[in-house]
Amino acid sequence: MTAQVSSEASRVDIPQEEVLAEVRNHIGHLTLNRPAGLNAITLEMVRSLSRQLQAWADDPAVYAVVLRGAGEKAFCAGGDIRSLYDSFKNGDTLHQDFFVEEYALDLTIHHYRKPVLALMDGFVLGGGMGLVQGADLRVVTERSRLAMPEVAIGYFPDVGGSYFLSRIPGELGTYLGVTGVQIRAADALYCGLADWHLDSARLSDLDQKLDLLKWHDSPLKDLQGVLAKLAVQQLPDAPLAALRPVIDHFFALPDVPSIVEQLQEVTVADSHEWALNTANLMQTRSPLAMAVTLEMLRRGRRLRLEECFALELHLDRQWFERGDLIEGVRALIIDKDKTPRWNPATLHELDASHVASFFDHFKQVAN
């Protein structure tokens, strides 16, 4: 859903079209246009994207869609969390409507019957990941920074995270979801969260080639042919490839306290620094959010895509009242004291039955 930077977007006063749409050479181009707020997505942007995608799905003159963010800093740094915080505090329904419609948009992209090319330049966080992970062609650059950072503000990785994180090989997706760490292009390709790497300096070349593309085969094959001339599908030296054995070991442990405890005990020289840094990072995150995330991801492995979104919505409907999100937003975005009072405050105070209660009655939702 979210990233801390999204609060800036609420203070942008210049009127502008927040989603730009145009068709060139049978390609519908959609641009998230809030660069001052790192293209944090609002409910109106969700609705605008949904309307435009539906119109192009029904338009035989549109063969494919390209999705990008304005500016050089971000594709999309998440949902505009400040507006959702204000909605909850004011007793409004925006925070409820937002997730229902955002998830529906993400599902639309997963099932879209025309190819979608996502240009993931800059930050791709939370809700931004939800927009791109259903795309057919996901392009990263050297400026790309991908993450599901929700646990940092007391939330869990939603927007389909229970589906796409849980399907990354081994425990890499568990690691990304439970810690909220950012990864770069090489790791995004290694994890299967991106398909192509293109130097950001060549993005204009890509646009030019798309404008001049002669359509021959299926639209998807034609787009793949363009990318094959400009981009690569693998990069050397992905950091997560070297860390894979230790990540698979620790993040397969039964619960979050066990993970942190054993990370703190690592003495092997080539893993010690990473293990200690990971444990320290996790001790700043919401214990409840990490524990619910771990359970959600393990359940997600056994669920279909639609069921994963249903599970996330099931958690959403409880989270503003029972979770740590409101306190996390207060501490990191509103008051900025950076000292959230998590409930429970520590991993040792986690109650397994309390964590499990968030998933009560979900079978009725999924079936």
Helix residue spans in the chain (DSSP H): 43-57, 81-89, 94-111, 127-132, 161-164, 172-179, 185-191, 203-211, 219-230, 239-250, 256-264, 269-282, 287-300, 305-322, 325-329, 352-357, 362-366
The dihedral sign for the CA sequence 4, 99, 68, 14? negative
Catalytic residue of the set 102, 158, 316, 324? 158
Question: Beta-carbon neighbour count of residue 176 at 10 Å?
Answer: 27
Which tokens in the block code for residue 287?
């214990």
**Coil/strand/helix, residue 227:** helix
On whether the CB atoms of residues 240 and 191 are closer than 8 A, the answer is: yes
| Angle in degrees, CA 270, 272, 247, rounded to 5 | 85
Residue type (1 letter), 315: L
158 belongs to the catalytic site:
yes
Question: Which distant-in-sequence residues (6+ apart) come within 8 Å of 367 by Cβ?
Answer: none
Strand-pair partners of 22: 29
122 belongs to the catalytic site:
no
Catalytic residue of the set 69, 78, 79, 134? 79
Identify which of 155, 138, 182 has the alpha carbon closest to the alpha carbon of residue 2.
Answer: 155
Q: How far is Cα 215 from Cα 254, in angstroms, rounded to an integer? A: 51
Question: Which distant-in-sequence residues (6+ apart) come within 8 Å of 201 by Cβ?
Answer: none
On whether the CB atoms of residues 340 and 331 are closer than 8 A, the answer is: yes
Q: Are strands 27-32 and 19-24 parallel, antiparallel or unpaired?
A: antiparallel
Q: Omega into 344 within 30° of 0, i.e. cis? A: yes
Q: How far is Cα 250 from Cα 256, in angstroms, rounded to an integer? A: 10
Q: How far is Cα 292 from Cα 348, in angstroms, rounded to an integer? A: 15
Identify which of 53, 48, 9 has the alpha carbon closest to the alpha carbon of residue 28.
Answer: 53
150 belongs to the catalytic site:
yes
Catalytic residue of the set 69, 78, 122, 127? 127
Q: How far is Cα 29 from Cα 21, in angstroms, rounded to an integer? A: 6
Burial of 147 (0-12, 13-18, 19+ CB in 10 A): buried
18 belongs to the catalytic site:
no
State the catalytic residues: 79, 127, 150, 158
